[in-house]
Amino acid sequence: MTAIRIAGGCVHDPANDVDGEVSDVCIEGGKVVADVGPDARRIDARGMVVMPGGVDIHAHIAGPKVNAARRLTPDERRDDPVDGTELLRSGTGGLVPSTFATGYRYSLLGYTTVVEAAAPPLAARQVLSELRDTPMIDKAFLILMGNNQVLFELIRESGGAVSPQLRDAVAWWLDATGGYGVKLVNPGGVELFKQDNGNVHSLDDEVAGFAVTPRQVLEAIGGAVDELGLPHPVHIHANNLGVPGNADTTLETMRTVSGRQAHFAHLQFHCYGGRPERGAGAMRSRAPELLDYLASHPEVTADVGQVMFGPAVTMTADGPLSAVLRDLGGDKWLNHDTEVETGCGIVPYRYRSSNYVHALQWGIGLELFLLGRDPWQVMLSTDHPNGGSFLSYPKLIRLLMDRAYREDQIGRANPRAIRRTALLDGLDREYTLNEIAIITRAAPARRLGLLDKGHLGIGADADVTIYHDRADREEMFATPRYVIKGGELAVEEGELRRSDDGLLLSGRAGFDPEVERVLEPLFGDRYTVAFEHYPVRDPALREPARIVEARS
Amino acid sequence: MAERATLGPVTCAGCGLLCDDVSVDLSGEAVRLHPSCPLGAQWFAERVRRPADAPMATVDGEPAELEAALARAAELLRRARRPLLYGFEGSTVEDARAAVALADRIGALVMTGSPAGPWPGAPALPLRGASTATLGEIRDRSRVVVIWREDPETSHPRLLERLGFGAGGGAHRTLVVVDARETPTTARATLRLRWPGTRDLEALVTLHAVQRDRPPASSDIHEQLVTLMEHVRDAPHVAFLYGPGLTDGEGGQRRALALHELSRALSHERHVVTLALAPAAGTIGAQEVLTWQTGYAGNVDLASGHPELLVATQPIDGVDVALRIEGAAAALADGVVTIALGDRPDADCEIWIRTAAPGVHAAGTAHRLDGVPLALQAPLAGDAPTAAALLEQLLSEVVR
């Protein structure tokens, strides 16, 4: 494999306490090494910024909901064709790009690892197939477990405690699907929506027919993930997303999983004050309270889920949420109920700077970034494409790094909304390059348990992004000078130089195979798929892969 | 190698239901399935009872070596001005992935519907969306199931059983069948509604109006519509099953749209889902692949170097070479040269290359009509390559 010396760059490698040090980074055999021989290719990085490849901890890039969104929005992609070449496949871009275009565009942005954050286990074959067709990046997916009827049965039997059977079942599901980690979306609420358009509104509402509560689901499955020692902690999309006053639910959810490792998805959507009965017009920010909680609970992390003004496509396993968006005026609405496991809703959307709620959401996202004390705890995401495309990350970075630009943008947003945030309180923080490196690669990689990623220490994966050090940070982060993936030059000056499959990253924990004797009858009563045919074992779908083992 | 007497349980790709609990009994003269299904038995019989001297390929109707047939096919595709890839009714996801890769390279049209035009109802989805569900959701939750001008007892023989309307099932549920014909499915209905298909749009629009408490002037089907709405209003969960019976022919897209508009309107008071009864096992998977690889479902033109979506009204002109993949022959214009990849000989093609039958001689993935991706097994050994392998070979030949 290629040996490369990246010479004289300004290196930002916060995981190794390197903050803007001018040094060489050497690569050989797909890994960062101490030195390379004189024949190594030399990349002159003088005057440039060198960082580990970007790691997206929460995005939606593959699986049935993503593909349904593509089908739902052909017009949105018509003006963004991606031509094929002898090296590259054709496709379409837009907010929900085709698979090949997704891989290419992440790579061109300097990202080398991406997590699909919500996959129905029953659809694992499709998720794996789509990820096989998503080149250039390493990728993982989280499997949805917060509304799984079989797990509800196990939780009810254990009285809400973490039982050995539940632990084994969680590990079995990862093994059966190739998933990396566990996602809980509106625990209990999606099941009630599928019954008769219901939902849960508090952590102690009972899920009809199962005699379990969201709190028990959080405690039991979150606890099982923690006890298994999976590389990534339970990844939570809390109840009451988007509802005025939902900060109470979010704080209560955090307290419920207190003392255990947990990651909260798109926290911005869960930081609202106000009361449901007073409507969205009375909604306000409670981001500072959530940040206070994080500051005293280092076991909890979050990604922001920043909304960006402009078009978006909301896609979520939170079916009842999507029905609300439909009723807010969504021209198009797609709902899909997956037996036993989950739901799905899709509504194309547009965030408008003049709209009170949208501007408030935008402002709350910025509050989370700017008021947060520890960038290792609050990571960058737009919940692509829910808050906006991943292609808007450079603009978001500029908002964080460039106060004058940010203030100009604040001046264009709904003033009543902005007044209900801390953005007018002399918030002069500007992120440093090292902080950007933390929230876009080092912290996500560490939180995912990807010890070989997100840093440039000896033995790390040779995933490296090299930027021109431009004053315009949006331009800088939109067009890396070089991207090296797995030790090979993937991107040079905005052009893809090679096509690479990338790896599937799967999580694994040991389990007692006898759990299948427990699961099989529960499957038989509920699924319309035979238990023996449910697991996906095909090497063609599961490889090439890297298995990340649980901490024993 | 001695043939085993019983295979399974395996997934049957005989229709879009993809029942994966099937045992195949090969001990007698006739192939029998358990659970019983005439369509599945016929499907397996056609694939496991192959003449021992079946050729690997034919060129101009004469037996040919595989390599020679492939070389000729590659040459035809390389020189094609306007190549078309179509079929897919019996393909796997893996076949479709390889097909779209080839189409991308040679700038072909890809049609996952018929070359005569896509399923007219399909384009309704991008207009407003839909509410859909997997079989288990409908089985366990829908108190009212409305089958709209389809006869699944014939087209998908185990559908009603799998939706909980088997022997002794469905006692507290209502099976509504909209159909003027007498069919095996109408015989199962607890509520029958009769009007001709030409009045389906009127019926759907009227139901929508009734739902909004704005009933239009009465007509001779008004009473039936009110009865249907009474059943729907009493149910917390309702499913509408439909297919080409509603959406084929002129105005099909409008009728499909009307059904989705109705289900969306009804969804405010109860949970309502729809399920399209796709007839073929391979079509859904091919459409999924085409969507994720190009961004568009249905029929896509790659001639300009990137995907362009073809809509139903666009004529398909100028095709000179057609590559049919695991599908039935379609009427093409005179002079079109056809290459077929399939598990059964086709003397009407210039080139036919035998493939391992998915679900019998080849494993892979297929999508059930509700979208669930399932494994197809290969319970019998075969000597032919998969369509995916052939397509990959063709791609490497074409770009050489």
Q: Which residues of A touch B268 (CB under 8 A)?
A: 327
pLDDT value at position A446?
Answer: 98
> What pTM value is reported for the model?
0.97
Contact A212, A152 (CB under 8 A): yes
Instruction: Please tell me what DSSP assigns to residue A338.
Output: B
Please name which of B379, B384, B358, B388 lies closest in space to residue B289, comparing C-alpha atoms: B388
Q: Confidence class of residue B54 from pLDDT cuts 50, 70 and 90?
A: confident
pLDDT value at position B216?
Answer: 77
Q: Where in chain B is the domain with CATH 3.40.228.10?
A: 122-276
CA–CA dist B19, A37 (Å, integer): 59
Q: Which residues of A touch B294 (CB under 8 A)?
A: 90-92, 98
Q: Which two tokens stand for residue A458?
A: 């000896």
Cα angle A225, A231, A232; round to 5: 65
Q: What is the DSSP string of A115-165?
A: EEEEE-GGGHHHHHHHHHT--SSEEEEEEE-TT-HHHHHHHHHTTTS--HH
CA–CA dist A293, A289 (Å, integer): 6
| Cβ pair A70:B295 closer than 8 A | yes
CA–CA dist A492, A65 (Å, integer): 33
Is the C-alpha dihedral spanning A394, A400, A401, A406 positive or negative? positive
The packing angle between helices A149-157 and A515-526, to 10°, is 130
Cβ burial of A432 (10 Å; 0-12, 13-18, 19+) is middle
Q: Which residue of A has its CA nearest to B275?
A: A336
Please report where in the chains the tokens 């947003």 appear, as a residue: A413
Q: Where in chain B is the domain with CATH 3.40.50.740?
A: 57-118+281-399
Residue B228: CB atoms within 10 Å? 21
pLDDT digits (tens, 9 = 90+) for A3-37: 999 999 999 999 999 999 999 999 999 999 999 99
Q: Which two tokens stand for residue B195?
A: 């009007």
Q: Which residue out of B102, B292, B368 would a mutagenesis test of the A interface target, given it has the greatest number of A Cβ atoms within 10 Å?
A: B292
So what's the ipTM on this one? 0.97
| Cβ pair A339:B136 closer than 8 A | yes
Please name which of A284, A228, A293, A204 lies closest in space to residue A255, comparing C-alpha atoms: A293
Contact A115, A59 (CB under 8 A): yes
CA–CA dist A504, A501 (Å, integer): 9
Closest residue to A334, CB basis, from B129, B302, B365: B129
pLDDT value at position B314?
Answer: 62
Q: Which residues of A touch B363 (CB under 8 A)?
A: 538
Please name which of A178, A183, A117 lies closest in space to residue A147, comparing C-alpha atoms: A183
Please name which of A12, A237, A210, A16 lies closest in space to residue A110, comparing C-alpha atoms: A12
Q: Confidence class of residue B120 from pLDDT cuts 50, 70 and 90?
A: low
CATH superfamily of B122-276: Dimethylsulfoxide Reductase, domain 2 (3.40.228.10)
pLDDT of residue B358 exceeding 70: yes
Residues of chain A with pLDDT under 50: none
Q: Which two tokens stand for residue B161?
A: 């059983």
* Cα of A128 to nearest chain B Cα, Å: 11
CA–CA dist A200, A191 (Å, integer): 9
pLDDT of residue B364 exceeding 50: yes
Query: C-alpha B95: how far from its chain's center?
Result: 15
pLDDT of residue B2 exceeding 50: no
Residues of chain B with pLDDT > 70: what percent?
96
Contact A197, A523 (CB under 8 A): no
Report how many helices (DSSP H) and strands (DSSP E) chain B contains, helices first: 13, 20
What's the CATH code, domain B57-118+281-399? 3.40.50.740
| Cβ pair B295:A74 closer than 8 A | yes
Please report where in the chains the tokens 């040919």 appear, as a residue: B64
Task: Write out residues 208-267 of A within 8 Å (CB-CB) of B.
Answer: none
CA–CA dist B278, A119 (Å, integer): 24
**Residue A130 sits at the chain B interface (C-beta within 8 Å):** yes
Please name which of A399, A404, A398, A390 lies closest in space to residue A472, comparing C-alpha atoms: A398
pLDDT value at position B4?
Answer: 67
Please name which of B265, B249, B225 lies closest in space to residue B128, comparing C-alpha atoms: B265
Q: Confidence class of residue B348 from pLDDT cuts 50, 70 and 90?
A: confident
Is the C-alpha dihedral spanning B290, B296, B297, B301 positive or negative? negative
Contact A120, A160 (CB under 8 A): no
Task: Write out residues 26-85 of A within 8 Å (CB-CB) of B.
Answer: 62, 64, 66-67, 70-75, 77-78, 81-84
CA–CA dist A137, A403 (Å, integer): 32
Q: Which residue out of B134, B273, B392 would a mutagenesis test of the A interface target, given it has the greatest number of A Cβ atoms within 10 Å?
A: B134
CA–CA dist B353, A107 (Å, integer): 39
Q: Which residues of B touch A84 (CB under 8 A)?
A: 104-105, 302, 305-306
Q: Confidence class of residue B17 from pLDDT cuts 50, 70 and 90?
A: very high
pLDDT, mean over chain B: 92
In total, the C-beta contacts within 8 angstroms joining chain A to chain B are 185
Closest residue to B302, CB basis, from A77, A90, A125: A90
**Residue B307 sits at the chain A interface (C-beta within 8 Å):** yes
Task: Write out residues 98-117 of B within 8 Å (CB-CB) of A.
Answer: 101, 104-105
- pLDDT average, residue stretch B125-136: 94
**Residue B94 sits at the chain A interface (C-beta within 8 Å):** yes
Strands B109-111 and B83-87: parallel
CA–CA dist A477, A395 (Å, integer): 8
Closest residue to B126, CB basis, from A74, A193, A339: A74
Strands B144-148 and B129-133: unpaired
CA–CA dist A332, A329 (Å, integer): 9
Q: Which two tokens stand for residue A243?
A: 């509802």
Contact A528, A195 (CB under 8 A): no
Task: Write out residues 140-199 of A within 8 Å (CB-CB) of B.
Answer: 193-197
Q: Confidence class of residue B103 from pLDDT cuts 50, 70 and 90?
A: very high
Closest residue to B270, CB basis, from A78, A99, A196: A196
| Cβ pair B295:A528 closer than 8 A | no
